[in-house]
């Protein structure tokens, strides 16, 4: 699993104690702060940072990111910005989303790009499984 440096947003590997770009000491950051940084990074102007943030949010299952992911996906839909970013954010919603994410994906699944459509179906199934369990 990879991480993002909270200071310069360079992608780092777990096990690295310092950022190879800016020298930031990763021990200094708490999980709480890191989570906040990741959620903020979804809005980062650098496509690679936003992409990696969404991917890590999905992998680490950071539930608090649900609203921000939906927000960014709405913007992406309006601007027709990027199909890959859209796809990874829909993947992340599938990993963490609840009722709100389910409703959003269901309402918008026909508006997504071709590459996102299958991911949206999978994410809807995943969320559905969780909603009915709880």
> By CB under 5 A, is residue 11 in contact with Zn ion?
no
**CA separation for the pair 112, 91 (Å, rounded):** 13
**CA separation for the pair 123, 2 (Å, rounded):** 22
> By CB under 5 A, is residue 112 in contact with Zn ion?
no
Which of 2, 16, 21, 128 is the binder for Zn ion (CB under 5 A)?
Answer: 21
Judged by CB, which is closer to Zn ion: 27, or 107?
27
Min dist. Cβ of residue 122 to Zn ion (A): 33
Give the dihedral of Cα atoms 67, 68, 70, 71; nearest 10 deg. 120
Number of amino acids touching Zn ion (CB under 5 A)? 8
Compute how many other C-beta atoms are within 10 angstroms of the C-beta atom of residue 91: 21
**CA separation for the pair 66, 116 (Å, rounded):** 18
Q: Which of residues 24-63 bind Zn ion (CB under 5 A)?
A: 24
Q: Which residues make up the interface to Zn ion (CB under 5 A)? A: 5, 7-8, 10, 19, 21-22, 24
């Amino acid at each position: 699993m990879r991480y993002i440096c909270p200071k310069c947003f360079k992608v780092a590997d777990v096990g690295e104690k310092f950022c190879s770009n800016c020298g930031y000491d990763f021990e200094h950051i708490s999980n709480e702060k890191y989570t906040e940084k990741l959620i903020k990074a979804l809005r980062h102007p650098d496509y690679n940072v936003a992409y990696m943030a969404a991917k890590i949010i999905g992998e680490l299952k950071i539930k608090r990111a649900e609203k921000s992911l939906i927000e960014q996906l709405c913007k992406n839909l309006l601007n027709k910005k990027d199909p890959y970013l859209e796809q990874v954010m829909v993947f992340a919603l599938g990993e963490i989303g609840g009722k709100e994410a389910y409703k959003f994906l269901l309402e918008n699944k026909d508006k997504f790009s071709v590459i996102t459509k299958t991911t949206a179906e999978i994410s809807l199934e995943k969320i559905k499984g969780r909603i009915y369990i709880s």
